[in-house]
């Protein structure tokens, strides 16, 4: 993957967006990622698919996407990129922001110093839609060998009508 990135001029291993661009351009599937597609490193080789659980409420697609991003993060770290040590940048490599006029990103660590677990909350509000006013996304990450790994995801639509409740991404707002 590193060679291809250099040949087409993408700084893939120095930015989260570059890595995801390569994954999309070359169709790195979950099965290819699971077989070690791209440059292998000890951190990347140790990765296993994120288990489908309540923490990853949207199921297999979310688990495989988390696996692919975790692998890309580990490869970037092995190549010397600094961004995998920042949980917010890792979270932003995973999330697809909708471009809302009001976006708030919050990081909550498990402890004040030397955090090993963190939760990233991204709330987008102000969608120009009468039924959906925004999107709430929650990512949990764990620090493994100096690299932040995605371990959980939850997404909720913020409804703009009625009692302004939230519904899972698989649901619909009234």
List the chain pLDDT tens, one digit each, 174 residues: 444 444 344 444 445 555 554 444 444 433 333 344 444 344 444 444 444 344 445 566 777 888 899 999 999 999 999 999 999 999 999 998 888 899 999 999 999 899 999 999 999 999 988 889 999 999 999 999 889 999 999 999 999 887 878 988 888 888
128 falls within a domain: yes
C-alpha to C-alpha distance for 170 and 40, rounded to whole angstroms: 35
Compute CA 69 distance to the chain's CA centroid, rounded to the nearest angstrom: 6
Please give the residue range of the domain that contains residue 80.
Answer: 2-168
Number of domains in the chain: 1
41 falls within a domain: yes
173 falls within a domain: no
| DSSP-derived 3-state class of residue 99 | coil
- In this structure, the number of other CB atoms found within 10 A of the CB of residue 98 comes to 13
113 falls within a domain: yes
18 falls within a domain: yes
174 falls within a domain: no
- Kindly give, in sequence order, each residue whose CB lies less than 8 Å from that of residue 41, ignoring residues fewer than 6 positions away: 74, 75, 77, 78
CB 84 within 8 A of CB 73: yes
- For residue 134, the cross-strand partners are 125, 158
* Residue ranges in the chain assigned as alpha helix (H): 2-8, 16-25, 30-34, 42-45, 60-78, 87-94
Nearest CA-CA partner of 79 in 12, 146, 149, 143: 12
136 falls within a domain: yes
């Amino acid at each position: 993957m590193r060679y291809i990135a250099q040949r087409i001029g993408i700084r893939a291993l120095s930015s989260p967006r570059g890595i995801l661009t390569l994954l999309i351009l070359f169709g790195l599937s979950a099965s290819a990622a699971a077989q070690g597609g791209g440059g292998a490193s000890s951190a990347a080789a140790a990765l296993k698919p994120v288990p489908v659980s309540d923490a990853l409420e949207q199921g297999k697609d979310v688990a495989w996407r988390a696996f692919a991003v975790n692998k890309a993060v580990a490869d970037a770290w092995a190549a010397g990129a600094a961004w995998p040590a920042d949980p917010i940048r890792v979270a932003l490599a995973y999330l697809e922001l909708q471009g809302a006029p009001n976006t708030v990103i919050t990081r909550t660590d498990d402890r004040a110093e030397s955090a090993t677990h963190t939760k990233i909350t991204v709330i987008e509000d102000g969608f120009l839609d009468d039924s959906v006013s925004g999107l709430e996304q929650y990512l949990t990450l764990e620090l493994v060998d100096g690299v932040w790994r995605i371990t959980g995801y939850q997404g909720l639509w913020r409804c703009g009508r009625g009692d302004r409740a939230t519904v899972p991404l698989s649901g619909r707002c009234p």
